[in-house]
Amino acid sequence: VNVMDQALWSELLATLRALEADSAVRGAVFQSGLKRDVFTAGNDLRELHAGLTTKERYAEFWRTQTTFLSALFESPLATVAAVRGACPAGGCAIALCCDARVLSENGSLGLNEVALGLGVPRFWTQVFTRLTGEGRGERVLSLGGLPKAREALELGLVDAVEPKANLLPAAEAMLERLLAAPDLGRVLTKQMVRGLLAQAWGSEQNIAAEIEAGWAQLTQPSVVALLSKQLEKMSRKPGAPPPPPSARL
């Protein structure tokens, strides 16, 4: 289910860097290759559960994830997320870092950490509220929900809602519109709008601070208990083999 572990974030980062290094590539569409209507299932709980990882492993995971997201946010490529189905937390962060988002009619998208007793990461809140506005964005984040397609469109989280069958063509058409003008002006404008936030997000000082704060949160007994409960819940899905210990984080 596209569980986002250290290996996946590393692969995403390597792919982004390869695309940016290829002068023939001007843009990219992010989509899921799953048959199920899930963009991603969010971060792998094994990377977040203090009883199943170490601070050193968590630091590597968070640094890789943050390096990718901050790089995608200010990438010179034109980027569009074609989101089919559910898109919680880590997957939502990817979509928010793209230049545009197209969501399927049956889709949902949001940062739902609060529902599991966790705070939404600092810079994730900023890329979320830059689209929704601070007041509405804080309210949505505080509820820990996943806005469905029409609400997501109303909030400004996505640029279009499409039937599943038309999702990729719509995303490709949106990418073509982004690429209609010469690259230089688009790239410079993107840097002007996003540069300060991207630099702060990807700075080693802030990454280190987020790692310390994140690990302090994840080692709280109440958080360990909540994540353990979520792991147990997901391992007991009726009518299906036990899924990997992951959750929508």
Which residue matches tokens 């994140």?
A: 214
pTM, two decimals, is 0.91
pLDDT, tens digit only, all 249 positions of the chain: 678 999 999 999 999 999 999 999 999 999 998 888 999 888 888 899 999 999 999 999 999 999 999 999 999 999 999 999 999 999 999 999 999 999 999 999 999 999 988 999 999 999 999 999 999 999 999 999 999 999 999 999 999 999 999 999 999 999 999 999 999 999 999 999 999 999 999 999 999 999 999 999 999 999 999 999 888 887 765 444 344 333 334
Which residue matches tokens 């596209």?
A: 2
DSSP H helices, the chain, are: 6-21, 55-73, 89-97, 122-132, 134-143, 149-155, 167-178, 183-202, 204-218, 221-234
Structure tokens at 13: 């980062």
Question: Contact at 8 Å (CB) between 26 and 77?
Answer: yes
